[in-house]
């Protein structure tokens, strides 16, 4: 807690409560806007294009992928911890023909059966999950043999100067942006969970700061 003075009066401000309001109420709205740029929508369209059957989405958020879910998808099971984001998703869900079922809050412990789903989807989500390895193991468990993981994520950049800057700024960035990490090795995380990456494109996203803008996009199989 810290103290501030306004108009000569002393006020106590609970920093924990302030961060709670930011993380729970305001940040989901900021993310909903920031992750719906033209470039982001183009990436969502690409990674969603080949989805089919029953799909689990890790980090459903405000439903930004719903408009890009193809007709070949028979159902979408959404996992996300944010109640505010789920409320923001209602309009997108109402406009779509895809059946969306909320299936849990924590991707690290998914309450769904083994070998059940045809595909999984993760867009800018692995950066914020505290134990991304555990979450990917869970995704691998619930996918059928030969099931696919479609992803677009930001992570560690290849350039040493950018890596050093990212390592310096990550503690502040993570605190401000809901636990988001910018130094995670996304391909290694995916492969270490038992997936085989079949396609992987890597590039800096134009218009974003380099330390947080190196993107990994592709798909992998169990």
Mean pLDDT, rounded, of the chain: 88
- Edge to edge, what strands does the sheet with 143-154 contain? 100-104, 73-79, 53-58, 117-123, 143-154, 214-221, 196-204
* Range in 17-21, 73-77, 172-176 the model is least confident about: 17-21
Banded pLDDT at 178 (limits 50, 70, 90): confident
Q: The domain spanning residue 176 has which CATH number?
A: 3.40.50.150
Q: Is the pLDDT of residue 34 over 60?
A: yes
- Residue 27 within a domain: no
- Residue 90 within a domain: yes
| Cα→Cα distances 87→28, 32, 61, 82, 97, Å | 10, 12, 9, 9, 18
Residue that wins the pLDDT comparison between 175 and 28: 175
- Residue 198 within a domain: yes
* Range in 23-27, 106-110, 114-118, 178-182 the model is least confident about: 23-27
**pLDDT confidence of residue 139:** 98
DSSP 137: H
- Residue 55 within a domain: yes
- Residue 142 within a domain: yes
**pLDDT confidence of residue 19:** 55
Q: Is the pLDDT of residue 107 over 60?
A: yes
Q: Is the pLDDT of residue 14 over 70?
A: no
- Residue 15 within a domain: no
Banded pLDDT at 29 (limits 50, 70, 90): low
Number of domains in the chain: 1
- Residue 20 within a domain: no
Instruction: Render pLDDT for 36-52 as a digit per residue (tens, 0 to 9).
Output: 788 899 999 999 999 99
- Residue 46 within a domain: yes
Average pLDDT over residues 164-177: 89
What is the span of the domain harbouring residue 130? 37-221
């Amino acid at each position: 807690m810290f103290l501030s003075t306004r108009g000569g009066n002393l006020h106590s401000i609970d920093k924990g409560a302030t961060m709670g309001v930011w993380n729970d109420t305001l940040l989901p709205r900021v993310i909903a806007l920031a992750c719906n740029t033209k470039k982001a929508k183009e990436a969502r369209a690409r990674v969603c294009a080949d989805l089919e059957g029953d799909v689990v989405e890790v980090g459903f958020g405000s439903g930004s992928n719903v408009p890009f879910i193809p007709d070949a998808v028979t159902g979408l099971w959404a996992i996300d911890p944010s109640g505010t984001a789920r409320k923001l998703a209602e309009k997108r869900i109402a406009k779509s023909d895809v059946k969306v079922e909320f299936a849990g809050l924590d991707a690290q412990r998914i309450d769904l059966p083994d070998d059940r789903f045809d595909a999984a989807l993760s867009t800018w989500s692995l950066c914020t999950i505290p134990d991304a390895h555990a979450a990917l193991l869970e995704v691998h468990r619930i996918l059928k043999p030969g099931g696919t993981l479609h992803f677009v994520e930001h992570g560690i950049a290849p350039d040493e100067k950018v890596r050093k800057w990212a390592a310096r700024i990550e503690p502040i960035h993570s605190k401000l942006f809901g636990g988001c990490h910018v130094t995670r090795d996304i391909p290694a995380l995916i492969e270490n969970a038992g997936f085989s990456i079949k396609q992987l494109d890597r590039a800096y996203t134009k218009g974003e700061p380099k330390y947080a803008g190196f993107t990994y996009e592709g798909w992998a199989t169990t």
